[in-house]
């Protein structure tokens, strides 16, 4: 059970660990944390943090989170949180240690940090071309090697939006309006100049684009291409964007499990990837 990004910079690492340890217990050891600095920054002023401390907050709170998962009792002193000494933090996770990923939108510092710590990394590929993340993947591996970690034992994942239907035309038409609505809301909030249009959407659906939208064969082809070009070991798909009919979302999930995944497994085995 992998979360979306937990904006650790404006959250409390103790609460984050407790919440995910609870989820890990309920799911019998299936929870994972995706810890990120946060491209959405609304939570910083909400909880009294300054954006001037953007990097320092994440670095310090990640250090505390990793300390908590390593030891039942923890002593801590930092610059952005009250200190405590020899306090037990409960509940404990079923997994030992509880998996913590670094979630990144493409920042080189995040890739280096993850590599130095020997943590798995997940790139959020929402726009542009997935191949653009290849230099970051290499940077991550080099940092890991320099820190004494075996890069071949670490995991690189990507996260992208996806929708699967019986035909590519059906998938494209069904997914466009919800995607457009959400992107335009975000665009207004962030001051993007141009509204999201069908041409932009169709370009993102292309074979080398960031959206995995189409029939099972087409989506599988794009996933295999990503594996070839980026060497990912895991691939996370975000199926629903905005408001979509529940039956269509369920059908997309069904097609991912019964059609897309078997095609990808067969092709990767054939190519020995």
Does residue 2 contact residue 32 with C-beta atoms inside 8 Å? yes
Q: Which of 130, 147, 100 is nearest to 205 (CA)?
A: 130
- Kindly state the percentage of the chain with pLDDT values over 70: 99
Q: Can you tell me the mean pLDDT for 235-252?
A: 88
pTM: 0.89
- Within 10 Å of residue 233's Cβ, how many Cβ atoms? 12
Q: Which CATH number fits domain 2-271: 3.40.50.10860, 3.20.20.30, 2.40.30.30, 3.40.50.2020?
A: 3.20.20.30
C-alpha span between 259 and 162 (Å, rounded): 14
For position 224, what pLDDT does the model report?
95
Q: Can you tell me the mean pLDDT for 100-115?
A: 93
Residue 110: burial class (beta carbons within 10 Å; 0-12, 13-18, 19+):
buried
Question: 119 CB contacts (<8 Å, ≥6 apart)?
Answer: 100, 101, 102, 154
**Structural domain boundaries of the chain?**
2-271
**pLDDT 10s digits, 140-167:** 999 999 999 999 899 999 989 999 999 9
Mean residue pLDDT of the chain comes to 92
How many CA atoms does the CB half-sphere of 133 hold within 13 Å?
32
**pLDDT 10s digits, 200-212:** 999 999 998 999 9
Question: 82 CB contacts (<8 Å, ≥6 apart)?
Answer: none
Q: Which of 218, 229, 222 is nearest to 273 (CA)?
A: 229
For position 1, what pLDDT does the model report?
62
Q: Token pair of 269, please?
A: 């085995």
C-alpha span between 181 and 241 (Å, rounded): 9
């Amino acid at each position: 059970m992998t979360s979306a990004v937990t904006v650790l910079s404006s959250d409390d690492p103790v609460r984050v660990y407790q919440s995910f340890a609870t989820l890990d217990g309920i799911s019998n050891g299936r929870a994972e944390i995706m810890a990120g600095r946060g491209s959405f920054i609304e939570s910083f002023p909400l909880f009294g943090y300054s954006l001037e401390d953007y990097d320092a907050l994440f670095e310090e709170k990640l250090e505390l989170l990793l300390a908590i998962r390593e030891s039942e009792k923890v002593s801590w002193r930092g610059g952005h949180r009250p200190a405590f000494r020899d306090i037990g933090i409960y509940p404990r996770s079923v997994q030992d240690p509880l998996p913590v990923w670094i979630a990144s939108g493409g920042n080189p510092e995040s890739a280096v940090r993850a590599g130095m710590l020997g943590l798995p990394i997940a790139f959020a590929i929402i726009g542009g071309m997935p191949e653009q993340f290849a230099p970051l993947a290499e940077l991550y591996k080099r940092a890991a090697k320099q820190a004494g970690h075996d890069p071949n034992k670490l995991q690189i994942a990507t996260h992208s939006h996806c929708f699967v239907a019986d035909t590519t035309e059906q998938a494209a038409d069904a997914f466009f309006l919800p995607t457009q609505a959400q992107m335009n809301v975000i665009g207004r909030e962030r001051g993007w100049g141009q509204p999201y249009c069908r041409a932009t959407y169709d370009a993102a659906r292309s074979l080398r684009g960031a959206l995995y939208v189409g029939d099972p064969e087409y989506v599988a082809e794009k996933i295999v291409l990503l594996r070839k070009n980026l060497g990912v070991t895991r691939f996370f798909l975000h199926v629903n964007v905005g408001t979509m009919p529940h039956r269509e979302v369920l059908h997309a999930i069904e097609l991912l499990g019964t059609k897309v995944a078997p095609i990808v497994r067969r092709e990767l085995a054939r190519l020995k990837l």
